Structure 1
Amino acid sequence: MPLDGLGYLKILAPPEKVLRWIEGKLNLLGRLPHYVSIDQKTYGRYGVLPTTSGPSLPGAEASLLLLRRDPRILKAPPYVSLLLILIGLTSLFLLPLDYYSRHTYISENALLPGQVHTYFGGSEQNIFNAYKHEVQAVAGKEQHEISNKLEEIFNSAGLKAARQKYQFEAAGNRYTGENVYSILHAPRGDATEAIVLIAAWTNMDGELNQSGCALVLTLARYFKRWSLWSKDIIILITSDSKAGPQAWADAYHNEHSVPAVEPLPMKSGALQGVVVVDNALNHRFESLHIVYDGINGQLPNLDLFNTATAIASGQMGISVVLQRMWKHGDSYRERLQTMLRGMVSQGLGHASGPHSCFIPYHVDAITLQAVGDGWQDEMAMGRCVESTFRSLNNLLEKFHQSFFFYLLMQANRFVSIGTYLPSAMLVAVNFSIMAIALWIRSGRSTVPTIGSKKKNEEKEPEMEVIRQDGMVAIAPKHRLVIVERELFLPITLVVASHFLGVIPLYIFNHASQSAFSRTFIIFAQANMLLPSFLAALLSYQSPLSTQQRLLLQCFSLLLLGMFLATLATLNFSLAFLIGLLAAPLSFVGQPYSTTSYENPASGGKVRKLLMTIVLQLLSPPAVMLAACKAWDVRVEDVLVEAAFGWTAHGLWTQVVVWCIWWPAWTVGSVVCSPLL
């Protein structure tokens, strides 16, 4: 179609009479500036001079000056913030599409996954069955009897065994146990590098890892017969899946606390990788569930995950699942569900398996868990472990070439940080934009004199003349007064609110398990009354001015935006989830109509009541209760897990919740309280 054909689009334009009627009702000509050229004695409207002989740049500068001084420009930030939140949320839901995600690939060519022939099987099946009976014989007995049996098995295989006792105390509970491990020294190595094979006596679900422990012991005996290893192999059997691996990893890197955790009597070189075997089934399995989430949202190098996936699905023909998505049809819904489950697990930051304890030490680790009821046996799982260790044995240096920040949506598809990070950044930036707008509003006192209709009559606004660089701009007059900001009280209140978060942080990390339920209920009830109490206290002692209320919310949103933007680079999921839950704080106490400009915090009682209800529903205790209800878990169990993570794993999710999110929520609730 020729370009002239576009002229037919003029039929879509409104009639000129309609445009003139809108112009008259909105008084557009009275609002827009009139520019006058002093030298040329010419007049014009809309910031454009009718002649080309006069200068045009000064008119544009005058337009910017008028725009900066126009109080109506501050009506835009809430809409911009809302737009950023919607764009960030929408971009997240676009990630499962093929256009935004990529197929996984191996970046480290030296790994060569699946390129070797595996020999595990045959007569090893009989050894596995024997070890399985040995494990079953000591199941449920005292810890020292279990350790004695494991040490006896190691010695019979020609491996020297060592023990390590540990003890952790959290939430009034005591976690004790004893790790048993052995080191297979590489015939072709110099003991400078090592890879670790782990089986926990009980898995994350509290079940006896009978087949997993027997398989690891069988592999230890099998690996001893080969002379191809260039790295030491450490075989580790821990008492549980949380405290035992953490105690061993801490002691191996000399970060343990004495005497609660004993030092290791034997060590090897730098750890290059960790593989955990979890098989609590007494029958054949269907798929391998690869667990990769680390503590505080840290993830292993993607090459390790891709290596295990390529070996299991490509070489062994075993299907691979992740994030407890037992059936995956590669549809958009299933991709999105897998990604969101991974985000929730990463956002919680808890230990998802024994491997999680090694990732903070920059040791890449995964857990291979047998799930389902199929035709795959333990020998197939052993061959997967053997081939994975053969690939790790090829490593010339630590994992570094592939991604450490990613989102997986199925076993062979991922999204890198460069694609998904803008989602969290946009949500965090909305708080900074609102903080800047509040800062500007707090420093000016403007009473607009723009004409308004009264009794179907239009009142022409009072005009003012602005001179700049030989040009004159005639525009509606505003009485703009720059006022001095009172910073001390708002800064003090914001800082005090963040220090106030130390109270719930200490309580929920040091209370006993028996008191968790009662303590949480009392805190949730007190949290509902806290904003009203603080608002009444402030009103009684020294009522806050409009400027102080603006600054109070300004500093709170500024800190929240800075914290979330920084956190997004470390734990994207936690920053994004908290950003969405805290999004209403950007719109608290912000009526941006022209009539209420002088007192923006004086919204209607109905509006404040609605905002108070919304904030109460999105408070940290309320969100926690709703999440526990949705996942059908007890609040007490979540608090116990968090307290143990704080003590043993160095979990800082609670710090983000109680010292960043909760203070911002408290300040926002105080600002919109009808009592302030």
Structure 2
Amino acid sequence: MAESETPKTRPRPLVRLGIFLISHSLLVSVVCCTAGVLALLLLPVLAKNTYISENALMPGSANAMLSSEDISEAHRFMNDLTGLNLKTGETGIESSRLIARYMSDLGADVNYHKFHPQPNQFRPLHFFSNSDSRIIQENICCSSHGVNTVGIIRAPRGDGKEAIVLVTPYNSHKIDLAEALSLAIAYSVFSLLTRVTWLAKDIIWLAADSKYGEYASVSAWLRDYQTPVFGDFEKPYSEICCESNARHGLKESEITERKISDVFRRAGTMAAALVIKVSDGNKQADGTLSIYAEASNGQMPNLDLINIVNNLAVHRQGLQVKVEKLLSLLDSKWLRILGEVFESVGNIARSLNPQWKFGIPAADYMEGAATLASSLYYQALGVPTGSHGAFRDYQVDAITLEISPKVALNNKIRQTEFLQRGGRLIEGVIRSVNNLLEKFHQSFFLYLLTSPSKFVSVGVYMIAFALLVAPLPIVAASLYSDANKWDSSLKKHDPTSSPKSADDEHRNILRSWKWLYAAKQVFIIHSWGVLVSLLPYLICQMPNWMSKVLTWLILGSPIIDADASQSQKREWAILKSVTISAAFIGLCLMSVINFATAEIGALLLVPMCLLAHPLRLDVRAHSLKAFTRAGCNLVLGFIGFPPAAFFVLKGSFEGFESVNISDFWNWIESLWAWNSATYLYIGMVHLPCWALCIWILLHPC
């Protein structure tokens, strides 16, 4: 009997799905990329109303206790501050002494914190490690230090393990009226909190000397707060300068009398921080509260902190709350047309079923899109939008509140009302945070704002990114599979091919070497990108070797061998496959560090990688499809180049008349100075992938 043929086993459903996707990679790419862009445009429509997740916060549940006496004392404090500018030329010293004296009169523990401005240095792994330890350079002059004034109220109901921080930046050399008002608001609240009995968390008031920058002063204080020293190393604040305290106006008798010390004082773990600023009413709409929340590498505070501020400002103090938006998008015609389309679709959906809540008015869509674009932009920059960003480096939730009065700042009749409104807002926020038994954790840390009262959560906006990058591994597998099939067909029709077993072995070895050759090219290009990223760091470390480093980088830049064999020249598909795989890995890794950067990078990088095709092949094809693809590749290759992408985006949002050649370098320098992970993404992911795509376009097929 003839042996029965063994039935062929069908592959598993998951394998069959993979084979189907790979065989239809073009269709999958078009569908996924279109759906990804559409999902991104739909985010303002899908935004949800904010809500308080932590019930213990209870914003507005208690009546404000800030009295007219607190306001009058704050007004007197403000007048004394502004009067210093007329009395003495040493305003920096006198202002610190005045603030410390007022803090001490309230019974707070007060100390001075001396700090030196630290030069910006690029640290490639800064976002993987803690902040630098406190190192004071010996060659810094004593006269170049700043002095923060810190007051601490010990909570009567607390155990000293938690604290809330108030920050008021001011220029100690010349205090303007806006800075005096912000200090007065903090003083009125600080004065109230020294008398209340419900306080369960210590209150720290940091009057930050911002003559070297708001961020520098707050960051220096936080660095010393979070890295305590013991023994003889506790002396830097009192003995760091060769000059005596008396020369700076800090007389020993007065320090003893007022219990003001140079010894660093601490409270408990920080539960939250509020940076209070007052802006000129002429710069913004009257009676508004602007919230700034973005920190380094796209970090955001817990959404509940923004929610309680928005709730109290709108419903208790009658302020109009604003977040940053790209104003140029509000005049965009295509965005208005898109908003009208979504509004029409929503009207049709509600006519079919009233319970279908889809679509928003076109005006609301434009506002939401402009705010969403601003949120993406500032998160992608990786640069803090205020001194609150220093707190997020230590996982402390913090925001900046910038209040704009309804009237001019010099209108003394309305100043009392303004101080009362701002003070009661801060009081309400502190009272809500004081109710927490633990740190913020209930609400979202990953979100995008479309308005002060609407947000898009991570579970929604990740869909757009996932759809954009989904075609990359599928196309990479399809290209590799097609290259192997093409090689197999050549071997099959080759009359000089060896027997089947030897031919198969030779073919498998050849395929593996071709893959390794493409991987080697990709590795060289990405190594070059690493060197380009580290170039500023190397120049700072070895300034005398700058010319040698530049020469070495130019000579060591990846140059493709022009004498490559004909078989290697035909392997552009495998090179593209490995390039796409590298882009996919880089974008996914970046999405973990800073999602906004990965999202914007995917919009630029994914189409460029998917469409990359040798121009010589398109020219030889003499077809409309080939010429269209070649034109798209040239456009994407130009836009994908980092400087060109920067100029195009800046010109689209702000107008091309405002574009300057030096803007790109200034932007890169700011990313470098702030240790932004976006800087590493541009140098180590985007730039190498762009170079590989350009090489594929110019491949000598």
Give TM class, smaller chain: 0.7 to 0.9
Structure 2 equivalent of residue 119 of structure 1? 65
1:275-304 residue CA offsets vs partner (Å, 9 max, x unmatched): 111103379941111111121111111111
Structure 1 residue 359, shift from structure 2 partner: 1.5
CA contact (8 A) 2:274 2:399 kept: yes
Task: Specify the alignment match of 2:113 in structure 1.
Answer: 163
Decide which of 626, 633, 646 is 1:624's aligned counterpart. 646
The 3 A distance-change label for structure 1 pair 394 and 607 is closer
2:195 aligns with one of 221, 225, 250: 225
What's 1:295 paired with? 296
User: For 2:214, what is the secondary structure of its paired residue?
Assistant: coil
Q: Show the counterpart of 2:594.
A: 571
Name the counterpart of 1:271: 270
For residue 579 of structure 1, give the secondary structure of its aligned residue in structure 2. Answer: helix
Please tell me whether Structure 1 or Structure 2 has the larger radius of gyration of its CA atoms: 1
Q: How does 1:376-455 map to 2 (within 5 A)?
A: 377-445=418-486
1-structure distance, mates of 2:29, 2:145 = 50
Q: 2:166 aligns with which of 181, 186, 197?
A: 197
- 1:452 is aligned to none
Separation in 2, partners of 1:169, 1:633 = 28
The one of 24, 28, 31 equivalent to 1:80 is 28
> Whose strand fraction is larger, Structure 1's or Structure 2's?
1
d(CA) in 2 for partners of 1:255 and 1:488?
51
Q: Give the CA deviation at 1:270.
A: 0.8
Cα deviation code 1:506-547 (max 9, x no counterpart): 3456879xx9xxx9xxx9xxx9x999x956x42246677146
- Identity across matched positions, percent: 24
1:198-236 Cα shifts (integer Å, max 9, x gaps): 111159xx9863321232233222322223211000001
User: 1:468: which partner in 2?
Assistant: none
Aligned to 1:22: none
Trace 1:57-96 onto structure 2 (pairs within 5 A).
Answer: 76-96=24-44
Aligned partner letter, 1:492: K
Specify the alignment match of 1:498 in structure 2.
526
Structure 2 residue matching 1:395: 3-state secondary structure: coil
The answer as to 2:86 corresponding to 1:128 is no
Find the aligned partners of 2:683 and 2:326 in 1 and give their Cα distance.
32
- The code of the aligned residue for 2:196 comes to W
Q: Which moved more, 1:206-215 or 1:147-156?
A: 206-215
Q: Matched residues in 2 for 1:635 and 1:202: separation?
A: 32
Pairing 1:147–2:96 present: yes
Counterpart for residue 670 of structure 1: 695
Partner Cα separation in structure 2 for residue 432 and residue 264 of structure 1? 58
Deviation of 1:614 after TM superposition, in Å, equals 2.8
**Which residue is equivalent to 2:561?**
538
**d(CA) in 2 for partners of 1:264, 1:93:** 54
CA distance in 2, matches of 1:185, 1:658: 48
**Alignment partner of 1:311: what SS?**
helix
Aligned mates of 1:610, 1:324 — CA distance in 2: 31
2-side partners of 1:135 and 1:542: how far apart? 78
Q: Does residue 250 of the first structure (1) align with residue 283 of the second (2)?
A: no
Give the structure-2-normalised TM-score.
Answer: 0.70
| Letter aligned with residue 277 of structure 1 | I
- Which amino acid letter does the alignment assign opposite residue 124 of structure 1? D
Q: Is the 8 A contact 2:111 2:263 kept in 1?
A: no
Query: Is the alpha carbon distance of 1:325 and 1:615 closer, same or farther for their aligned partners in structure 2, counting shifts above 3 Å?
Result: closer
| Change in 2 beyond 3 A, CA 1:372/1:186 | closer
Where does structure 2 lack aligned partners over 5 or more consecutive residues? 123-139, 238-261, 331-360, 408-413, 491-506
Instruction: Give SS of 1:290's match.
Output: strand
SS at match of 1:274: strand
CA distance in 2, matches of 1:411, 1:69: 46
1:370 aligns with 2:403: yes
RMSD: 4.5
Structure 2 residue identity aligned to 1:129: H
Write the deviation string for residues 94-136 of structure 1: whole angstroms up to 9, x where unpaired. 1222xx3222111111111011111224233332222223333
1:16-55 superposed matches below 5 A: none
* Aligned-partner residue type, residue 244 of structure 1: S
- Give the C-alpha shift of residue 444 in structure 1: 2.9
Q: CA 1:331/1:608 → structure 2, altered by over 3 Å: closer, same or farther?
A: closer
Q: Which residue of 1 aligns with 2:512?
A: 485
- Alignment partner of 1:235: what SS? strand
- Of stretches 324-333 and 433-442 in structure 1, the one that deviates more from structure 2 is 324-333
Distance 1:110 1:619, change over 3 A: same
Residues 165 and 177 in structure 1, CA contact (< 8 A), matched pair in contact too: yes
Q: Distance in 2 between matches of 1:511 and 1:308?
A: 45
User: Structure 1 counterpart of 2:606, which letter?
Assistant: A
What is the Cα deviation at residue 670 of structure 1? 1.2
Report the alpha carbon displacement of residue 146 of structure 1 after superposing the two structures with TM. 3.8
Where in structure 2 are the equivalents of 1:300-379 lying within 5 Å?
300-324=301-325, 331-371=364-404, 373=406, 377-379=418-420
Q: Secondary structure at the match of 1:170?
A: coil
The number of equivalent residue pairs is 566
Alpha-carbon contact 2:324-2:371 (below 8 Å) kept: yes
Partner residue in 2 for 1:33: none
Question: Which residue of 2 is the match for residue 464 of structure 1?
Answer: none
- Evaluate the alpha carbon distance shift between residue 144 and residue 663 of structure 1 in structure 2; reply closer, same or farther with a 3 A threshold: farther
Contact 2:113 2:148 in 1 (8 A): yes
Aligned partner of residue 445 in structure 1, secondary structure: helix
Give me the whole-angstrom Cα distance separating, in 2, the residues matched to 1:547 and 1:123.
Answer: 84
Are 1:188 and 2:157 counterparts? yes
Shift of 1:187: 1.4
With over 3 angstroms needed to count, the CA separation of the structure-2 counterparts of 1:623 and 1:65, relative to structure 1, is closer
Cα deviation, 1:301-329, whole Å, max 9, x if unaligned, reads 11111111111111222221111589999
Q: Secondary structure at the match of 1:414?
A: strand
Conservation of the 8 A alpha-carbon contact between 1:197 and 1:235: yes
Q: Which moved more, 1:222-231 or 1:145-154?
A: 145-154
Partner in structure 2 of residue 212 of structure 1: 182
Secondary structure at the residue paired with 1:377?
Answer: helix
Matched residues in 2 for 1:194 and 1:510: separation?
A: 41
SS in 1 for 2:561: helix
Amino acid at match of 1:268: A
User: TM-score, normalization: structure 1?
Assistant: 0.73
Q: CA offset at residue 497 of structure 1?
A: 1.7
Distance 1:367 1:440, change over 3 A: same
SS in 1 for 2:376: helix
How far did 1:332 drift?
1.3
Residue identity in the other structure for 2:512: R
Q: CA deviation at 1:253?
A: 1.8
- C-alpha displacement at 1:588, in angstroms? 4.0
Relative distance call for 1:637 and 1:356 in structure 2 (3 A) is farther
Question: 347-356 or 636-645: which moved more?
Answer: 636-645
